[in-house]
A and B are shown apart, each in its own frame.
Chain A
Amino acid sequence: NAGVTQTPKFQVLKTGQSMTLQCAQDMNHEYMSWYRQDPGMGLRLIHYSVGAGITDQGEVPNGYNVSRSTTEDFPLRLLSAAPSQTSVYFCASWDTGASSYNSPLHFGNGTRLTVT
């Protein structure tokens, strides 16, 4: 059981380039989300999805696009990368069918992105 898989693990971009961070989960979770983690800032929610075809903004959505065409996949797109988007990005999923209070977010191992 792979859980949440993120690719790539590392990426270097130049300012203005575009790229897509991939996230896939094999647990049939309806909820998926993207967080960015910066030193001294903790984890901040970028976008989330409560099911295929449904997405919503989190705390820091600017500069990022998402779509959810299948339950399994939730890609994060950077259309024009900026140095401020240098960060570690985590994808997470959650079993909304389980008891809300005790079910955890399942995180991938992150993508470390550097924008020069």
Chain B
Amino acid sequence: TQLLEQSPQFLSIQEGENLTVYCNSSSVFSSLQWYRQEPGEGPVLLVTVVTGGEVKKLKRLTFQFGDARKDSSLHITAAQPGDTGLYLCAGARGGSNYKLTFGKGTLLTVNP
């Protein structure tokens, strides 16, 4: 059962454009993490959001956790080719990463 739905699955944009990736669930999570994965490597954590309504910024990346802690979004401003990669959201329950549930991922390609 896929508890976390990510959209879109694929996204190809031009350098300088803005984009938003969504991560939705019918379940409540204690925290939600966003990872980025590059070809041939394992995922690397970008950010963790914990509080409903929380907004975190990482340079040109803005992450938001929904008020009900069931959904999250990742917004990238002025995308660059270096942003290319697979973006994964992952939800934790009970305050631990013991059984972290991952979404299917959004494959982003930023063309120069």
Contact = CB atoms under 8 A, between A and B. Distances in A.
A79 to B, nearest CB: 24
A109 B40 contact: yes
Contacts of B96: 96, 100
Interface stretch (B12-20, B44-52, B68-76, B77-85): B44-52
A105 B97 CA distance: 8
B97 A40 contact: no
Interface residues of A, number: 26
B30 interface: yes
A103 B98 CA distance: 12
A23 B90 CA distance: 22
A94 to B, nearest CB: 5
Contacts, number: 66
Q: What band does the interface of chain B fall in when counting residues whose beta carbon is under 8 Å from A? A: 20 to 34
A35 to B, nearest CB: 8
A58 B110 CA distance: 34
Contact of A43 (B9, B40, B48, B102): B102
Contact of A105 (B40, B100, B103, B105): B100
Given A42-B104, A45-B101, A90-B43, 16 more contacts: A40-B9, A40-B104, A41-B104, A42-B103, A45-B99, A92-B42, A96-B96, A100-B31, A100-B97, A102-B48, A104-B45, A105-B43, A105-B90, A107-B44, A108-B42, A110-B41
